[in-house]
């Protein structure tokens, strides 16, 4: 059998990673590695947190020690928890305007294109996360006037203590799983959003995340509360530079969607190919509420991420659109969970994955319809596209129905790019590579069209990058 | 705790199934995770050694749905209570049947125990039954292996069904009465053979059966495996399929009717390695009553070498009343893109209101219409068994189960309390 390189001569060129630069590492080099009570207390002390948060962090550390590693999923044996920096502070005070940012941080964001995005006024506010803590923050005035809170999570705890305490760790308790415990113990940064009743935030709220210190874990924590009848679209994007040793990213995202509210959460993660991306995301939906996850997984070494919706009120609705690309050495283990706990609830999961160059994509999902959740409907659809004969694609859909008056359907297809399709496009004058990229773009189009425009463009560019050298 | 296979799997270019890596139970760690979960279905432990399988506690992937607390006695070896059961083999002329001692070297060539219960059966059995259909023989009637037990007889059962090359046969295993059974059934179809194995579980209410079926499909052979599970308190049937050469085709069909308090679990694992093989899995189940629990897990692995594989899995569940629980897990692992097709589907729901409406619009009363819909749902599988007498018997049995529930639901008193 031929090796991966022989089958894909173009693979070598793929090694260059577009966002794989690294700025001089000023803030990170001094930070302490490892995990202990002392580290947790130090994080809490530096942030000047209330006692309950310090206690919760310590309790979570105990839970983390007690919890076993997952007995399923990907190979995580490469993570060394004692060789990770759990807190890195890059600037002492938060900047409020662009000009106040330090030079090398500004340079990083210039490469990411944030100022352009600002100028286009496509985004409502940018909470750019650089090394664990938010350093730059701006909210448009009209949002503030409407009472929308959009701050980093540390500020949220400081300035809105009651609101924060009411919801923090209620959707994902500290002991939910090993990585949620870890995040609760050492969290830093993330976004805190509150949308008052009836308010529609009509432009997406957007934040950029970045890991920039070797071996630095990024443990951001996001909490979104959409009050009755409100609407908000939050966009999270990730890029990280390439480093020698493995990095860990373990975020927790909690979303509370109240009666008749609607929240859409869009992520395109494009971590460099040495990051373990182990994320817990969950939303609760009250009566008539809608939660939509749009989840793109392109980068990272290993991703294990299953955005969940708990449908707790009648007529609540959950939706997940998920795409995953796995190239050489990557394992994208992604999917979604839908738990129907009330009557007349509905959910839908659409997952599309492409594996190439020896990569592996797995869809892993759960649909659970509890007793009493009559007239519930759920539909799951997984499609996988195989472009060579060395890559791997798995489907692990769990279905648990405990009610008679329901409709539950699951369907999966795995197909390969047919010679007919390639021939047709090539006879129109395309190269094989262009034809392949076009077929892949067509395959993910139903999800790409749900993305904000800049993201859809970025996704198309990333697909072309990913598909380079995929034929041959 | 590295475990070696005592017997080599059958030759013919088939990859030996993996044994367990050391350190698998070091799940807890807070610095430097060393534990690696199974990355493929093929990595799950298979061994003749009982100690390779810790006693299940219900948290294992393999046992997560099973009520292991009720099965503690079956996880420890105990002798077969020979006086409480009988197993008769009725075979047409030409078939060679024999009872052989437990250490007969023909045993363990097709299958290797894949869980604690199967390992218990392998180690505690005192004898085995071999049914051999000679090469080139086409049987006019079915071979019947009838097991009748009483008084919760403890049984460690082993059956080997060997169909020689280019033979054609139907073998029916039936189970009646009351037993606590662990067992292994090995099924080997020679090159070009056409073999149907039907296993029918018509146990009394308290019976427990933990059974493993291993199927090895020869070159260009065609195998149909049909599981019909109607009775028993806990029935767990694991069916594993492997191919010994190219061109094999397999159909795994199943029907289950799970009543209140019953746990019926069907697990399948189709392991594609040689080229040009096909597999088609279709299981249909109905559930009614409090605590009725059905589990269907269908694993398909397409290995990197298995070019031109074509596979499809389907599970449909009809939930007839509240309080029942249907778990359905169709898993696919695909290591090559050079395949014809791979897919699966799972659907769980209640009666299709449109079908009921259509029938009622034709003047058929509702309870009759319901009966017809369920009849049609199961007839699609049952009628493919190929044994008319057995088919009629099974349909009658299903009708009876159904009549009990539908009639009670349509009595005015019952309807009021519903």
Q: How many CB atoms lie within 10 A of CB A98?
A: 15
- Please indicate whether, in this complex, the C-beta atoms of A68 and B28 are within 8 angstroms of each other: yes
**Model confidence pLDDT, tens digit, residues A271-303:** 877 889 999 999 999 999 999 999 989 888 999
Residues of A in contact with B321 (CB under 8 A): 404
Q: Cβ separation of B336 and A410 shorter than 8 Å?
A: no
What pLDDT, in 10s, does the model give residues B53-67?
Answer: 999 999 888 999 999
Interface test with A, best of B38, B332, B344, B351 (most A CBs within 10 A): B332
| CB pairs A-B closer than 8 Å | 158
By C-alpha distance, which of A125, A275, A296 is closest to A211?
Answer: A275
Nearest CA in chain A to B290: A402
Determine whether the interchain pair B33/A74 forms a contact, defined as Cβ–Cβ distance below 8 Å. no
Q: What is the C-alpha separation between B307 and A111, in angstroms, rounded?
A: 45
Residues of chain B with Cβ-Cβ distance to A40 below 8 Å are none
The pLDDT assigned to B28 comes to 39
- Tell me which chain A residues have a C-beta less than 8 angstroms from the C-beta of B320: 404
Residues of chain B with pLDDT > 70, as a percent, come to: 89
Q: What's the gap in Å between the CA of A327 and the closest CA on chain B?
A: 14
pLDDT tens figures, B6-25: 444 443 444 444 443 433 34
This model of the complex carries an ipTM of 0.76
- Work out the mean pLDDT of chain B and round it to a whole number: 88
In chain A, positions 134-163, which contact chain B (CB-CB < 8 Å)? none
Taking the CA atoms of B20, B23, B26 and B30 in sequence, report the sign of the dihedral they define.
Answer: negative
A80: left (phi over 0), alpha (psi -120 to 50) or beta: beta
Residue B337, chain A, CB below 8 Å: the answer is yes
Query: CB of A436 within 8 A of CB of A471?
Result: yes
Q: What is the pLDDT of residues B64-117, one digit of tens each?
A: 999 999 999 999 999 999 999 999 999 999 999 999 999 999 999 999 999 999
Answer whether A137's CB lies under 8 Å from A101's CB. no
pLDDT of residue A165: 95
A27: pLDDT strictly greater than 90: no
B121-154: pLDDT as tens digits: 999 999 999 999 999 999 989 999 999 999 999 9
What pLDDT is stored for residue B247 in this prediction? 96
Instruction: Give the model confidence (pLDDT) of A386-417 as tens digits.
Output: 888 888 999 999 989 988 888 888 888 888 88
Cα–Cα distance measured from residue B296 to residue B285, given in angstroms and rounded to the nearest whole number: 9
CA–CA separation, A103 vs B286, rounded Å?
Answer: 67
Q: How far is A32 from chain B (nearest CA, A)?
A: 16
Q: How far is B8 from chain A (nearest CA, A)?
A: 25
B332 contact A CB<8A: yes
Whether B295 contacts chain A with CB within 8 A: no
pLDDT tens, position by position, B362-401? 999 988 888 888 889 999 999 999 999 999 999 999 988 8
Confidence at residue A9, expressed as pLDDT on a 0 to 100 scale: 47
Structure confidence by residue, pLDDT tens digits, A226-266: 999 999 999 886 655 555 455 888 999 999 999 999 999 99
- Helical ranges in A67-177 per DSSP H: 103-112, 114-119, 141-146, 153-159, 161-167
**Mean pLDDT calculated for residue range B401-414:** 60
Is B10 within 8 Å of chain A by CB? no
**Cβ contact B212:B183 at 8 Å:** yes
* Ranges of each domain in chain B: 41-350, 352-418
Distance CA B38, CA B333 (A): 12
Q: What is the pLDDT of residue A270?
A: 79
Which among A69, A394, A399 is the nearest to B346, CB-wise?
A399
- Considering only CB atoms, which chain B residues are within 8 Å of A69? 27-29, 33, 35
Residues of chain A positioned with their CB less than 8 A from the CB of B317: 401
A71 touches chain B (CB under 8 A): yes
Q: Say what the pLDDT of residue A468 is.
A: 66
Q: What is the pLDDT of residues A171-213, one digit of tens each?
A: 999 999 999 999 999 998 888 999 999 999 987 887 654 454 4
- pLDDT value at position A191? 87
| A388 vs B contacts (CB less than 8 Å) | 337
Q: Do B346 and A413 touch (CB under 8 A)?
A: no
The pLDDT assigned to B88 comes to 94
**Contact residues on chain A for B312, CB-CB shorter than 8 A:** none
CB–CB contact A416 B339 (8 Å): yes
Does B336 sit within 8 Å of A404, measured CB to CB?
no
Q: How far is B264 from chain A (nearest CA, A)?
A: 14
- Residue A202 and residue A199: Cα distance in Å, rounded? 9
Q: Is the pLDDT of residue B5 over 50?
A: no
CB nearest to B34's CB, from A77, A399, A405: A77
Across residues B210-237, what is the average pLDDT? 97
Asked if pLDDT for residue B162 goes beyond 80, the answer is yes
Residues of chain B contacting A1 with CB distance shorter than 8 Å: 304
Which one, of A318, A319, A327, A383, lies nearest residue A355 by Cα? A327
pLDDT at position B165: 97
Give the per-residue pLDDT at B412.
Answer: 43
**Which range among A42-56, A109-123, B363-377, B402-416 shows the weakest confidence by mean pLDDT?**
A109-123
- Each residue of B283-329: pLDDT tens digit? 999 999 889 999 999 999 999 999 999 999 999 999 988 889 999 99
Confidence of residue A6 (pLDDT cuts 50, 70, 90): low
Q: What is residue A34's predicted lDDT score, i.e. its pLDDT?
A: 80
Residues 389-428 of A with CB under 8 A from B: 389-417
Inter-chain CB proximity A392 and B333 less than 8 Å: yes
Instruction: Point out the least confidently predicted range of A14-18, A25-29, A149-153.
Output: A14-18
Q: Taking 60 as the threshold, does the pLDDT of residue A3 lie above it? A: no
CA A319 to chain centre: 15
Say if residue B47's pLDDT is above 50: yes
Residues in chain B: 418
Widest CA span in chain B: 70
CA distance B311 to A150: 50
Q: What is the pLDDT of residue B24?
A: 39
Q: What percent of chain B has pLDDT over 90?
A: 73
Query: Which helix (DSSP H) or strand (DSSP E) does residue B230 occupy?
Result: none
Closest Cβ opposite residue A79 in set B33, B39, B322 = B33
> Which residues in chain B touch residue A411, judged by CB atoms under 8 angstroms apart?
343-346
Closest CA to A20 of A273, A328, A329: A273
B345–A393: do the CB atoms touch at under 8 Å? no
Q: Which burial class, exposed, middle or buried, applies to A299 when counting CB atoms under 10 A from its CB (0-12, 13-18, 19+)? A: buried
In this complex, the residue of B30, B335, B343 whose CB is nearest that of residue A65 is B30
């Amino acid at each position: 059998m031929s090796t991966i390189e022989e089958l894909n001569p173009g693979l070598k060129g793929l090694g260059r990673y577009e966002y794989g630069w690294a700025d001089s590492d000023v803030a990170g080099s001094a930070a302490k590695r490892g995990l202990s009570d002392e580290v947790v207390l130090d994080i809490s002390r530096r942030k000047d947190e209330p006692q309950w948060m310090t206690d919760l962090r310590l309790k979570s550390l105990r839970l983390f020690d007690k919890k076993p590693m997952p007995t399923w999923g990907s190979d995580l044996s490469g993570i060394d928890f004692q060789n990770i920096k759990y807190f890195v502070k890059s600037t002492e005070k938060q900047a409020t305007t662009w000009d106040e940012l330090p030079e090398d941080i500004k340079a990083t964001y210039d490469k990411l294109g944030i100022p352009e995005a600002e100028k286009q006024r496509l985004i409502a506010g940018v909470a750019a996360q650089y090394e664990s803590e938010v350093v730059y923050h701006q909210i448009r005035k009209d949002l503030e006037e409407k009472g929308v809170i959009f701050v980093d999570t540390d500020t949220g705890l400081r300035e809105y203590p009651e609101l924060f305490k009411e919801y923090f760790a209620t959707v994902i308790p500290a002991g939910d799983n090993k990585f949620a415990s870890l995040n609760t113990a050492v969290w830093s940064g993330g976004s805190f959003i509150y949308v008052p009743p009836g308010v529609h935030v009509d432009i997406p709220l957007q934040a950029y995340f970045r890991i920039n210190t070797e071996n630095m874990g990024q443990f951001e924590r996001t909490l979104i509360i959409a009050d009755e009848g409100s609407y908000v679209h939050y966009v999270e994007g990730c890029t990280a530079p390439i480093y020698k040793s493995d990095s860990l990213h373990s975020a927790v995202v909690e979303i509370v969607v109240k009666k008749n509210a609607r929240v859409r959460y869009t992520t395109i993660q494009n971590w460099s190919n040495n990051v373990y991306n182990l994320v817990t995301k969950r939303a609760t939906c009250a009566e008539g509420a809608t939660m939509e996850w749009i989840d793109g997984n392109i980068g990272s070494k290993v991703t294990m991420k299953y955005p969940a919706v708990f449908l707790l009120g009648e007529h609540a609705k959950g939706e997940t659109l998920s795409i995953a690309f796995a190239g050489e050495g990557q394992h994208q283990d992604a999917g979604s969970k839908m738990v129907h706990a009330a009557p007349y609830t509905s959910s839908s999961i659409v997952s599309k994955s492409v594996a190439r160059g020896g990569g592996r994509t797995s869809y892993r999902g759960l649909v659970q319809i509890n007793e009493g959740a009559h007239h519930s409907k759920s539909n799951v659809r997984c499609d996988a596209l195989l472009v060579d004969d060395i890559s791997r694609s798995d489907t692990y859909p769990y279905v648990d129905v405990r009610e008679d008056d329901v409709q539950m359907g699951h369907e999966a297809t795995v197909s390969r790019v047919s010679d007919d399709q390639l021939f047709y496009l090539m006879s129109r004058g395309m190269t094989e590579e262009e034809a392949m990229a076009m077929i892949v773009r067509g395959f993910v189009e139903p999800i790409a069209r749900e993305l904000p425009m800049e993201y859809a463009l970025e996704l198309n560019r990333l697909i072309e990058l990913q598909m380079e050298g995929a034929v041959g | 705790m590295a475990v070696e296979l005592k017997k080599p799997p059958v030759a013919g270019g088939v990859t030996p199934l993996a044994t367990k890596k050391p350190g698998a139970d070091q799940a807890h760690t807070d610095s430097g995770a060393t534990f690696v979960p199974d990355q493929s279905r093929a990595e799950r432990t298979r061994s003749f050694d009982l100690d390779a399988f810790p006693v299940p506690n219900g948290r294992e992937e393999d046992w997560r749905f099973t009520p292991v607390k009720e099965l503690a006695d079956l996880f420890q070896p105990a002798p077969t209570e020979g006086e409480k059961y009988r197993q008769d083999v009725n075979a047409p002329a030409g078939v060679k049947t024999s009872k052989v001692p437990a250490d007969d070297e023909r045993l363990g060539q097709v299958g290797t125990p894949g869980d604690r219960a199967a390992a218990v059966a392998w180690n505690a059995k005192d004898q085995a039954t071999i049914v051999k259909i000679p090469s080139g023989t086409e049987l006019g009637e079915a071979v019947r292996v009838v097991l009748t037990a009483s008084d919760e007889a403890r049984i460690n059962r082993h059956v080997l069904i060997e169909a020689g090359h280019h033979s054609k046969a139907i073998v029916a295993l039936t189970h009646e009465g009351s037993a606590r059974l662990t067992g292994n059934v090995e099924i080997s179809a020679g090159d070009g053979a056409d073999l149907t194995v039907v296993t029918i579980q018509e146990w009394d209410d308290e019976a427990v059966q933990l059974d493993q079926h291993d199927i090895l499909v020869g070159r260009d052979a065609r195998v149909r495996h049909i599981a019909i599970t109607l009775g028993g308190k806990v029935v767990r049937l694991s069916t594993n399929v492997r191919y010994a050469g190219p061109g094999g085709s397999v159909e795994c069909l199943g029907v289950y009717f799970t009543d209140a308090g019953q746990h019926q679990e069907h697990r399948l694992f189709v392991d594609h390695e040689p080229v040009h093989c096909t597999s088609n899995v279709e299981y249909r189940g109905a559930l009614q009553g409090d605590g009725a629990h059905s589990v269907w897990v269908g694993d398909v692995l397409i290995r990197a070498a298995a070019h031109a594989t074509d596979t499809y899995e389907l599970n449909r569940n009809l939930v007839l009343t509240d309080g029942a629980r249907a778990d359905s897990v169709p898993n696919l692992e695909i290591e090559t893109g050079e395949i014809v097709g791979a897919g699966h589907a799972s659907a769980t729901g209640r009666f299709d209101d449109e079908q009921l409406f259509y029938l009622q619009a034709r003047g058929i009363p509702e309870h009759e219409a319901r009966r017809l819909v369920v009849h049609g749902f199961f007839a699609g599988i049952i009628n493919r068994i190929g044994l008319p007498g057995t088919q009629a018997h099974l349909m009658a049995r299903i009708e009876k189960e159904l009549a009990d529930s539908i009639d009670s639901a349509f009595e005015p008193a019952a309807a009021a309390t519903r």
